[in-house]
Structure 1
Amino acid sequence: MTLPPPPFKAKAIWSWGGNNKEKDLGFIEGDIIEVSKTSSDGQWCYGVSLRSKLAGRFPTKFIQVLQIKESGSRKSLLELKESSSSKSLRLTPSASSSSLKLGSSVSVPTDVTNYDEIPPPPPKHQYSTYNKLFTSSYTQRILDSSTLSTDTERSSYFGHSDFSATSAGSLMRHKEAKMQASMSDSDRQDLVSSMLEKGPNAKHPKFFRRLLGRKSVEPSLDDQIFSTSLDKLEDLTIKETDADDDLVRTRTLTGRDRANRKSRVVQEEPDLILQPQKAISSLNVDEKLSYSSPSIIDETDLDHVDEFVAELPDDRFIGPREIVKNRIIPRFLTPLEQLKAIYVYLTTRFEIIEKQEKLSAKVSPSEALFSDIIHRKRCTGHQLTWMFYIMASHLDLEMEIILGKFKKPLQLLDSNLVLNHTWISVLVEGEYRFIDVALGNHTNPVNDELNLIEPLSLQQNSEFYFLAKPLDLLYTHVPMHADQQHVVPPLDPLVQMALPPLYSGFLHHKLSLYKFNHSLFRLTDLELIEFDLEIPKKIDVRAIVRSYDNDAQGEALVQVYMKRDKRLAKIKAAMPPRCSLGFICVYARSTARPGADFSMVLSLPCSHKGKYKPIEWVKKNDNNAHLDFDLYIKQPQTFNLTRNLPYKFQVLSTNSTIKCNLISPSGTFHLLPYQDDAFELTKRLNEPGLWRLVVLNNDSWHVYAEWSCS
């Protein structure tokens, strides 16, 4: 196998335990390994396992080189890294000395390049495409099962390092996969039928014992009588209606439900990173020159700079360099003030237009083009980024134009690094910060997709992209080179691509992900989207589902509840009709500011296959967010209820002083007693029409929700 020049990533296609625990790296099939050095004959490699974080040497025959491509005609990510400058990552004294970073020097045994030992051969059997899919799913299930029951600080994506890394289990799994692939459906049915005819005590191959389950036992006479009685009782029981099916369908997912969906998605998409956010921990910090001195950037008041720029005359015949030399530098002395003046000037005086263009971080637009931009006050986002770079180059600061990918709203997440955006990194006051003058511009078309309409929301969005912290842009801005993240230690590019895009409103409103998992958005048959966000008080959250290929939309149910002193918003939704691919879009606003509009904070792709059935959620009052308390309708969560059937109305709340009533269509009040942190009432709905849930708020009844009975 021909190996590319290191560094590169490889995937273990066989398990290997190693012969020397001090020098060899053991791994299991499916592990991703970052290779930093290879022997001269290509027989051995040295690298780090991304799962166990252990380093060592290993045979080349046990791995397969991974190729990460950007898009059709572009270079692969690996080629782009190799063609870039050879500078290593900037490391600070406080960074972990044991961290391995792309392009940095590592401690490699001297005998790796001249290792005369012949590596052991892999197991002698073919490695088919089906086997690859099977073993990948098997490995991922092993890694995920270590954190299946409880969430820990260890990443379920990287797994644990206490597994046995021997090739025996790998060989058996490959043989089993080959056996499954070679057996036809008719052969399988014949074999199963013959086994059933032989009785429960017959001996079968291990594969079919696992297929059929554990050895069964013949039912006794009492068991047969009991089963017959149950069958007769079931015939007399009223069958569940569609409304009852919806009640079961809308129940909150249990831990087992989440685990089953997770296991299914892993088998269907073995390369999907389910919980990429767990790769970010307290060890990841923003890159600085010194971590001992406190930051002053966010504490500096720069409002006077905005006022000065607003009063600058709009001269269409003065170039960007003259504006900096003659107006900005003489007026302001500190780099923070000068940068803010250039930023405000470009984000308020120029209009962003969308245009197909070739992005480059090396070649700037021509002087003639800049003159035309200054005159017309219209340009693309990339041209505006170059204009900022040229104007700020007179400030004697370390700056760089970063070429990468911006995760736009309503855009599918994949592993292709398609270069569609540029932004600026600058070293100021001893810290590396980002300036995205294109996204900070009020006229950027992306603002319409984010529903940034009112002036205050636009201003907050603009302030966010001025000297943004690297960790804050990690979810939406993926640079071409990992060291341009300016996060220590840097994140794996594949992990960063899998992170959910969190936009400026998400961080402005101080929202947080809670047990996020991509498997919750891969639906089969009647499954529903269900996930949670941690939100502070005085924040209202809404959500809708939008189709990928048409204008269809579906409503979502958003309810707030408390769990271990955390205020969580649970979001449930179904896909729109005739929609197999779409996006769940989450919007948020502050209720402390009257009349505030909702802005998009999160956009996640979701998919559906199989049976479909629409669902209509219980109708909630839009003014519920202005109440001083939160109520969570546990059941019923569907809007349409069936007449003359009993329903259990259960409303969760930590406030027992609230008076909660159910009003019939004729106006009769039915009190919901409070017990065990919930208001509960079982009521047979014998009146058609709207049934309303009302609560007493400030000596007046407030309609919280309503259902339709027919």
Structure 2
Amino acid sequence: MSKLHIKTRATFSWGGDPRSNQLGFMEGDVIDILKVVNDSVYFGESQRTKLKGFFPSDYVDNEPIMDELNKTNNSSTPSTPTSIGSKNNSSNSLFTLRKKDTIHNSNSNTDISTLIDNDRLKSPQSSEIKNPELKSSKKFTSSYVQQLLDSSTLSTDTNTSSTFGHSDFSATSAGSFMRHKDDYESKLHNLMNSNIQYNTSTRNALNDIIEKNEKKKSSSNLFKNFLGSRIDEGPSFDDRIYLSSVEKMTQMNINDASMYEHHQYTSPAHQHSQQSLNFSDAERTKTISGHDRAKRKERVLGEQPDLILKPQECINHVNYEERDASALMNRSASYNLDRMDFSKVDRYIDKIEHNPYDSPQKFTKETILRKFKRESEVCRAIYNYLTKNFSLVTRPDEIISTKRMFESHKLTEIMHSKTCTPHQLTWMFYLMADTAGLEVEIILGYLKHPFVLNETITDAKKRLIINHSWISIKVDGEYRFVDVSLGNPTNEFSNEYSEIWDTSSTRKFYFLARPFHLIHTHSPRFIDQQHIVPPIDIVAQLSLPPLYPHSMIEGISLHKFNTSLFHLKDLELYDFELEVPEDYIVQGKFKPYDKGYNTEDSFVQFYYRNNKRIAHFQGIMSKNCPVGFVYVTGKSEFSRKWNLLMSIPCFHQGKWKPLQWVKKVPGLNGVDVYLKEPKINNLKMGEQKFDIRVFGKADWVKEVKKFYHGVLKLGLFSPSKDIIELDIYENKYTGKINLNQPGIWRLGVLDVKQRRWKIISEWNIE
């Protein structure tokens, strides 16, 4: 085995198997080649994971290795055993011996795994490789989250699992290798079967590549046992270069005769920008396809390999909320606790006058405990008392600690002024609950503010900032959370976002909140304080899009959420979906991080899938704005108050182009009309394809069909008020309509009871 120290780069992803000391890596990873076992197996160390192991040579760039081996061969004696590129046929050559063994035992039990095992026994580093997690015993001196970032990398590195940090990018070696190989073969056959007129030399070269590729496919079974399935060797590096050059000529419409003529050079990036700018708005606004999603995810992961694309998948049926044995026996405990009536407690506390000369402990003993005995009622009385009587102020010099209350010597002054900081209010709750004998704990952690970038998940060197405190309390055997500061109507969110932050509903939400409901916005300093079993990885939790109280109250949830769709390049749109209840309206907006940029509205539509109502959001960021937030607000159909549901960071780089969506309002009560096309506002006169989906309640459908003698219809109104009736079959209309008049064309839904049309969409025809 040749000992080397060469840096190379992975051309495919390889999953590896830690049980047999195989090194896993991702496409693009830099790998130090330490040893060459033979022409097919290398031993190396990944610079990203710092792990060592064996892996197939076809998954990395072999050029730098070949160069180094050639240098080694030229400087070594003829009897020195070498690997790839060596012409030494001596039976003592390790490369020759390995190759002969493999061929001789192709039908026996000996395979490449055996070769790796044999080499591992000879390696003095075998114990280190066998237990990669033990090799990193460094002392952590950074913040808690950085410690978790480091430890998470060790415990969930690529060769063990591709879930953490790359939840939507498979590091399975066969899948990655076959994806590139199939793409290569597809391009090769497309070029051969195209109408391009190649000269004789080019066509012969392509035929030679195809013939050589077929021979490889029929003869390659070296990795059969290593992969568990048959994998081809794939194209050579020279063949890939040649195919790429022919393909580029084809795309640029350059024939062989003009290859050597003068052409103005255009870089691929510039070509991409030109194609993007020439992309029509109609094409741009189409729902993103699965292929486009995959391309977007691949690009974003290439730029940010540590990004977690689907953090919501870290929470699944395996996780459950922590309870003690008594609560586990009583399966109805959660139901009773969530639906308990505290009106009697609230009325009692509301009537009590605040005594400035009472301490929190004295008020608990003499007022609360004399009236209430149940844990839940005592907890509610303390919560109501603190949220009703005290006002919150912020202090930049405040030190948040669980050991001592900030300015605890001023507790008497706080009781007189009824003014304190959020953390002091949390401490007062702790003192009163502890006096009442409840099992209570102060939790320090990170609160996801609606429009503040959480740089901890985008930059591993950033320290987690402890900016909030809340209470963990055990009530009736269950661990619940009380955020007394956010439940207080004078908190910072209520003051800063009063138009989208409802104090009355959030006050109810933050009392005995469930761990699964708070996990999206509250990240505790210590992972066991989540009270979720097994706990959610802290970095994955920080990556969760923040869902605020009304998301939980209304039953809003993520639907096929993917972080990569918020990293935009050139004319791309952000695109995401939420599951929403019936008779509920949502709207989205882009808010720039820098207030110097404009706010942009999202385009929101509703449709049904598997009896679930889905809200589909699409939109662009404001001109030249690099970063901001897409935030969603919602309300019931008959309410006037919009409430904040979620806030997601969004990024953009490259070219920008304005986009005017079709003007659209929610449909009739219980009716959702989804426009697949056209989604843009300005259309040209002439034939225009319309693709419309209609989702309506059974009563409305029945009424309209009765009015139209068994047919469901929508109405399209021309500028001259003429109506074109669109027949809806199987909830959709697809067809071309001649837009023969300039002006405003409107789409309407029939309200049978009111005997009128309600306009829900309008286009401007030029």
Scaled by the length of structure 1, the TM-score of the pair is 0.71
Corresponding residue number in structure 2 for 1:653 = 694
Deviation sequence 1:498-543 (CA, Å, 0-9, x none):
1111110101110111111000101111111111111111211111
Provide the rounded CA distance (Å) in 2 between the counterparts of 1:350 and 1:197.
Answer: 88
Question: Aligned-pair distance for 1:648?
Answer: 1.8
1:419 has 2:472 as partner: no
Report the equivalent of 1:251.
Answer: 286
Structure 1 residue 317, shift from structure 2 partner: 2.9
The 5 A counterparts of 1:221-260 are 245-260=280-295
Q: What is the rounded CA distance, in whole Å, between the counterparts of 2:431 and 2:562 in structure 1?
A: 42
Aligned counterpart for 2:569 among listed residues 512, 524, 532: 524
Instruction: Confirm whether residue 269 of structure 1 aligns to residue 304 of structure 2.
Output: yes
Confirm or deny that 1:284 pairs with 2:325.
no
Question: Could you say which residue in structure 2 is the equivalent of 1:583?
Answer: 629
Displacement of 1:376 in angstroms is 1.7
Question: Which residues in structure 2 correspond to 1:351-430 (within 5 Å)?
Answer: 351-356=391-396, 357-414=398-455, 415=457, 416-430=463-477
Q: Which has the higher helix share?
A: 2
- Cα distance in 1 for residues equivalent to 2:202 and 2:493: 66
2:672 equivalent in structure 1: 630
User: What one-letter code is carried by the residue in structure 2 that aligns with 1:664?
Assistant: S
Residue 718 of structure 2 corresponds to 664
Alpha-carbon separation, structure 2, partners of 1:620 and 1:17: 51
- Seen in structure 2, the aligned counterparts of structure 1 residues 489 and 211 have a Cα distance that, compared at 3 Å, is farther
Aligned counterpart, 1:613? 657
For residues 627-681 of structure 1, give each alpha carbon's deviation from its aligned partner in whole angstroms, at most 9, with x where no partner exists: 2211101111111223x23222222014564431111111111111223531245
1:310 offset after TM fit, Å? 1.1
**Alpha carbons 1:157, 1:274 under 8 Å: kept:** yes
Match in the other structure for 2:78 = none
Per-residue CA deviation, residues 382-426 of structure 1 (Å, 9 max, x unaligned), is 111111111111111221111100011012233342110001111
| 1-structure distance, mates of 2:647, 2:364 | 38
For residues 683 and 286 of structure 1, the distance between their equivalents in structure 2, rounded to whole angstroms, comes to 55
CA contact (8 A) 1:620 1:706 kept: yes
Alpha-carbon distance in 1 for matches of 2:18, 2:150: 33
Residues 243, 641 of structure 1: 8 Å contact kept: no
State the distance in 2 between where 1:34 and 1:393 align: 47
State how 1:297-696 maps to structure 2 within 5 Å.
297-356=337-396, 357-414=398-455, 415=457, 416-451=463-498, 457-550=502-595, 552-591=598-637, 594-621=638-665, 624=666, 627-642=669-684, 644-655=685-696, 657=705, 658-696=712-750
* Residue 76 to residue 514, structure 1, CA distance change in 2 (3 Å): closer
Alignment partner of 1:703 is 2:713: no
User: Which SS does the other structure have where 1:343 is aligned?
Assistant: helix
Q: Show the counterpart of 1:210.
A: 240
Against the structure 1 CA distance between its residues 79 and 679, is the aligned structure 2 distance closer, same or farther, given a 3 Å change threshold?
closer
Q: CA deviation at 1:155?
A: 10
Q: 1:651·1:680 contact (CA, 8 Å) conserved in 2?
A: yes
Q: What is the CA-CA distance between 1:353 and the residue it aligns to? A: 1.9
Does structure 2 retain, via aligned residues, the 8 Å contact 1:510–1:536? yes
Letter in 2 for 1:567: R
Question: Match for residue 111 of structure 1?
Answer: none
Corresponding letter in the other structure for 1:668: D
Deviations 1:113-132 (A, max 9, x none): xxxxxxxxxxxxxxxxxxxx
Q: Give the 3 Å change call, closer, same or farther, for CA 243–260 of structure 1 in structure 2.
A: closer
Cα distance 1:66–1:160, how it changes in 2: closer, same or farther (>3 A)? farther
Q: Assess if the C-alpha contact under 8 Å between 2:15 and 2:172 holds in 1.
A: no
Change (3 A) 1:352 1:253: same
Distance change >3 Å, CA 482–CA 528, structure 1 → 2: same
State the 1:57 CA deviation: 2.3
CA contact (8 A) 1:67 1:76 kept: no
Secondary structure (helix, strand or coil) at the match of 1:392 reads: helix
| Distance across 2 between alignment mates of 1:200 and 1:405 | 63
The alpha-carbon deviation at position 25 of structure 1 amounts to 8.4
Equivalent pair of 1:450/1:599 in contact (CA under 8 Å): no
Seen in structure 2, the aligned counterparts of structure 1 residues 370 and 662 have a Cα distance that, compared at 3 Å, is same
Q: Aligned partners of 2:16, 2:719: CA distance in 1, in Å?
A: 71
Q: Offset of 1:320 from its aligned partner? A: 1.5
For the residues of structure 1 that align with 2:452 and 2:606, how far apart are their CA atoms? 28
Change in 2 beyond 3 A, CA 1:604/1:398: same
What is the CA–CA distance in structure 2 between the aligned matches of 1:68 and 1:690, rounded to whole Å?
Answer: 65
Structure 1 unaligned blocks of 5 or more: 1-13, 36-41, 48-55, 83-99, 107-135, 145-153, 170-194, 225-239
1:118-149 residue CA offsets vs partner (Å, 9 max, x unmatched): xxxxxxxxxxxxxxxxxx9xx79x959xxxxx
* 1:293 matched residue in structure 2: 330
Instruction: Tell me the TM-score normalised to structure 2 length.
Output: 0.66
Deviation at 1:446, TM superposition (A): 1.1
- Evaluate the alpha carbon distance shift between residue 200 and residue 493 of structure 1 in structure 2; reply closer, same or farther with a 3 A threshold: farther
Task: Read off the aligned partner of 1:292 and give its amino acid letter.
Answer: M
- Do the aligned partners of residues 479 and 46 (structure 1) sit closer, same or farther apart at CA in structure 2, a change above 3 Å counting? farther
Provide the C-alpha distance between the structure 2 equivalents of 1:389 and 1:527, rounded to a whole number of angstroms: 49
Q: Could you say what secondary structure the match of 1:297 adopts?
A: helix
Conservation of the 8 A alpha-carbon contact between 1:452 and 1:458: no
Paired amino acid for 2:614: L
Q: How does 1:78-227 map onto structure 2 within 5 Å?
A: 78=147, 143=162, 157=167, 199=202, 201-202=204-205, 206-207=236-237, 209-211=239-241, 213=243
Which residue of structure 2 aligns with residue 57 of structure 1? 131
Question: What letter matches 1:336 in structure 2?
Answer: S
> Which secondary structure state, in structure 1, belongs to the residue aligned with residue 415 of structure 2?
helix
Shift of 1:365: 2.9
Check whether the contact 1:589–1:597 (CA below 8 A) recurs between aligned residues.
yes
Tell me the SS of whatever aligns to 1:502: coil
Match for 2:660: what amino acid? E
Cα-to-partner distance string for 1:258-281 (whole Å, 9 max, x where unaligned): 111000000011010101111111
CA distance in 1: counterparts of 2:341 and 2:576, whole angstroms: 38
Q: Distance in 1 between matches of 2:547 and 2:564?
A: 18
Match of 2:617, SS state, is strand
Deviation at 1:164, TM superposition (A): 7.7
Q: Distance in 2 between matches of 1:590 and 1:15?
A: 49
Q: State the 1:616 CA deviation.
A: 1.5
Partner of 2:39: none
Where in structure 2 are there 5+ consecutive unaligned residues? 1-12, 30-45, 52-123, 178-197, 210-234, 256-274, 458-462, 706-711
